[in-house]
């Protein structure tokens, strides 16, 4: 199981994560990314989520093994 999250202290709101994995990210009213509850835990890590993590300029996308 993997847990996906966005470190809100790092996120700058460029939306690159959304470009790579629109199914896994959403944005709050201030334009910062978060992972909706239904997507925060997954048994399989999709290639799109791996790319979102790799392409976040702020290293704000976190993937942890749960």
List Cα–Cα distances, 60 to 52, 54, 55, in angstroms: 10, 10, 10
Whole-number minimum distance, CB 7 to ligand SF4, in Å?
8
x/- string (CB under 6 A) for ligand SF4, residues 46-65?
Answer: ----------x-x-xx----
Least separation, in Å, of the C-beta of 50 and ligand SF4?
14
**Residues in region 8-37 near ligand SF4 by CB under 6 A:** 11-17, 33
Q: Does the CA dihedral 38-8-5-18 come out positive or negative?
A: positive
């Amino acid at each position: 199981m993997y847990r996906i999250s966005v470190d809100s202290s790092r996120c700058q709101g460029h939306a690159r994560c959304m470009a790579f994995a629109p199914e896994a990210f959403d944005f709050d009213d201030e334009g910062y990314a978060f992972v909706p509850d239904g997507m925060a835990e997954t048994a399989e890590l999709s290639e799109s989520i791996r790319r979102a993590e790799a392409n976040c300029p702020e290293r704000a996308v976190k993937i942890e093994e749960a």
